[in-house]
Structure 1
Amino acid sequence: MIRYGQFNHALRRTLRWKGAARACLEQRTPWVSNIHSPTRTTHSSPTPCRQRHEPRRYSNATQQHKQTRAFHPIFILGLLLGGTAYYLATPSRKSSTLNSETFIPYTITSREAISPTSVILTIAPHHPDPSPPYLLPGTALWRHTLWSVEFKQPEVQIARHYTPLPPLHGEDPADGRLRFHVRAIGRGEMSNYLSRLGVGRDVWLRGPHAGFDVLRRLGSQSQVVFLAGGTGLVPAMQVAKAVLDSSDETTVRLLWAVRKREEVQSCPAVATSWWNLWAGKNPAELPADLESPSHVAAHLREMKALYGDRLSVRVAVDEEGTQFRERDIRQAITAPTNPPFSSTSPSQGCLFHDQQLHEKASEFEKLGGACLCPTSNAAQPGKNLFMISGPDGFVSHYSGPKVWLGGTLTQGPVGGVAAQLQRRCPSLASDWLILKL
């Protein structure tokens, strides 16, 4: 073992050797530096520079040597103290269960292809959590009406939000498994990466991240119309389950637009689809006896069987010429309800019910906040909800584009088909809240 005196003596010898070597190098090398110069400069002759700095170099050699001897131990001590303080002040980053700060590994346990570009991925955590953060403590109920997690693409270090499918009937969400509907799109770095992964591969998640507090916005009202494009159906299914479970008087009408029939039916293409046989070129209701339903369609059918007439699902297929037009949305919004709709007249200035204030709002919001609407009798202030989810072009067409504001993607003004409906149906502007996802 080296004693303190031996170590101190060796350190002084090392520092003296460094000082001597530096002085030697300075005598042989012109004093030229381009580090702080905005342009690179070439000196044709080093003599003027050497003469200008030479006296200072030799006169201060002893002083520089002493400063060097004092500087090194102090510098090392500062690094040690600073590193220790940072380590103690920084929270642990080794959490093994899902959280909103760090990415946690999950393993793909199932991969079901729906179409050449769409898959259902089921994933399970490496370390099961007896109390997942997305469940209410001690229950199998989701904590948030609308929520998502982030997936990380480790190859290019990007992250994207994905919404998990609600659990199937009889599933125990406490086991930690989550299911996602992923569709590879164009140059989508994340969607293409996830769609290529097979069973046994790991993915990295962070979350949960809460979305709009749908129940608080709905209040005592009873109508939700959700227009979904492609995989935008998943948040629609989240919302439908939450609001239908919360009240027996709530009704949900889902309008699902897909590109190809194979998103709904897992069968070879035929000349005429089942909904064209019934409805011509109009969207049609998803039948209870649909043959060869896709994973998502089977899940929808199960939900329809559970909630009955309170849940309606209409489908439009782009490749077969059916789409949701203004009249389809108007019919969904103005459909009669039981019990009849009664307005609670939410006030302006409420973050939950004022459409204009939502223009600068993000769909990812902090929990809490107070509703500023006046209460009357036992009715809870609220508005019916018209929600739109899907690709950017889909959302822009039906409700106007979302807007980047200060680095945050906000709702932006209501536009597109929804704005036309507001002008033609004043009740949509006064009694309904339009939300873009």
Structure 2
Amino acid sequence: MRIASAETITTSPGRNFVTLRITTDDGLTGLGDATLNGRELAVASYLSDHVIPLLTGRDAARIEDTWQYLYRGAYWRRGPVTMAAIAAVDTALWDIKAKAAGMPLYQLLGGASRTGALAYGHASGRDIPELLDSIREHLAAGYRAIRVQTGVPGLGPVYGVASSGGAGGAGGPGGGERYDYEPARRAALPVEETWDTRAYLRHLPGVFEAVRAEFGPELPLLHDGHHRMTPIQAAKLGTSLEPYDLFWLEDATPGEDQAALRLIRQHTTTPLAIGEVFNSVHDYTTLLTERLIDYVRSAVTHTGGVTAMKKLLDFAAVYGVKSGMHGPTDVSPVGMAAALHLDLAIHNFGIQEYMRHSAETLEVFRTSYTFADGLLHPSDTPGLGVELDDAAAARFPYAPAYLPVNRLTDGTVHDW
């Protein structure tokens, strides 16, 4: 079974996606997600100009060898563009192998370890009453775990708050329509938002106090700090949130400095999650071996594919660290399906992020995974269980879109 051809499909049904499709000489096809939010065309070019010419004629069954060939053979290793491209190839080859076997992918990864993957949704509001309404809506939709994000008094639009205009919400201060439930916005230049960490630190404990008062102690609650705190600020926040029993505090500080997590860990027992901007197991070595985090947040799409994520999560399991894979709508349904097969198979599963894709996206990507009673299941369809509709994809051409840029109140560019 040889690779006969490969092609990239760039489409924008509400937001931009890059998909790699590999076809074998016996007619099987496999899909891989190559989407890199705000830098999609860089990965599409990397694939078309540098990777696809290397694939024709290769044995489609030799997945590990192909992964090593693309990673070690290129000399320039790691980085989000390279690893997203390798992930797309790897995931497409796993899709083909599972189709050839007539099995859902999770069966080739060791079979199911659970009946479904607990998912968390994104509740948010400009103020506390709006947040509480959003949580109620998510609970009514079947979620059993909730990420909590709110606006900060005195600031304008804030990342993660769905109704903030500058984050893409229609009619708000930033203008424009929301970009498939995420803060990216279609525009020639990024929106610029304003941030004040001290105001945020004062406000957030009261938010969680109100949520716990309304919904009780049993509901798993999560929060994303989005790399905006120094280590000592993150330690302070983790300590102040301990009475509210968070499932995790995510991305409390920029992840490049792994040693910074030592200080946070020394000061708080709030569980820590990090890694959605990581793209290699090497980004995690200190964090795992010193048990500085509790959850791995990487995405299959951005971390080298199914092969690399399985190895990373097996490494994490040695140190008692669980999965919490990245899964908002900047991961296509192909990438989401790949994550769900891993979720079902690995032993150290923790939780899966899940934002529902738009109706237009689901026209392009025909999915078979399901969400019921708070749990996701990848389905028993052979392969990944996702197919791409070329005619639908062609109706949605690429459109430039950017995530916001963040500035402090004095105008200094800050972490976003």
TM-score, scaled relative to structure 1: 0.25
